[in-house]
């Protein structure tokens, strides 16, 4: 969850030069986003954490398309993990992911 921590550090400290923060953001987009961008079908926790990581990469890099894709994926995942009686007799199945 480095991007979430990086966002906090960037806005609460003046010790991280802008060019180094930009390089970190580029690394997140180039190396980490491809690993987490489609979620995972192994189990709910892994898929949700991958979606959260993609969300924070979008926030840190100010990349609206990455952020919106992650939020859209979370909206599809949430009904499988937050059961409402209006969903029917059983919880919804999680969406198919990678």
Which is nearest to 95 in space by CA: 64, 81, 35? Answer: 81
What is the Cα–Cα distance from 47 to 29, expressed in whole angstroms?
18
Give the pLDDT confidence of 13-59 residue by residue, as tens digits: 999 999 999 999 999 999 999 999 877 766 678 888 999 999 999 99
Structure confidence at residue 47 (pLDDT):
86
What is the pTM (predicted TM-score) of this model?
Answer: 0.86
According to DSSP, residue 39 is labeled: -
Structure confidence at residue 43 (pLDDT):
67
Place 98 in a pLDDT band, splitting at 50, 70 and 90: low
What is the Cα–Cα distance from 32 to 29, expressed in whole angstroms?
6
């Amino acid at each position: 969850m480095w991007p979430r921590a990086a966002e906090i550090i960037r806005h609460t400290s003046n010790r991280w030069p802008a060019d180094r923060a930009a390089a970190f953001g580029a690394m997140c987009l180039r190396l980490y986003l491809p690993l987490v961008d489609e979620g995972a079908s192994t189990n709910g926790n892994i898929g949700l954490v991958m979606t959260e990581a993609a969300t924070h990469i979008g926030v840190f890099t100010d990349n609206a398309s990455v952020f919106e894709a992650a939020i859209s994926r979370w909206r599809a995942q949430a009904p499988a993990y937050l059961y409402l009686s209006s969903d029917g007799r059983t919880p919804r199945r999680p969406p198919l992911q990678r």
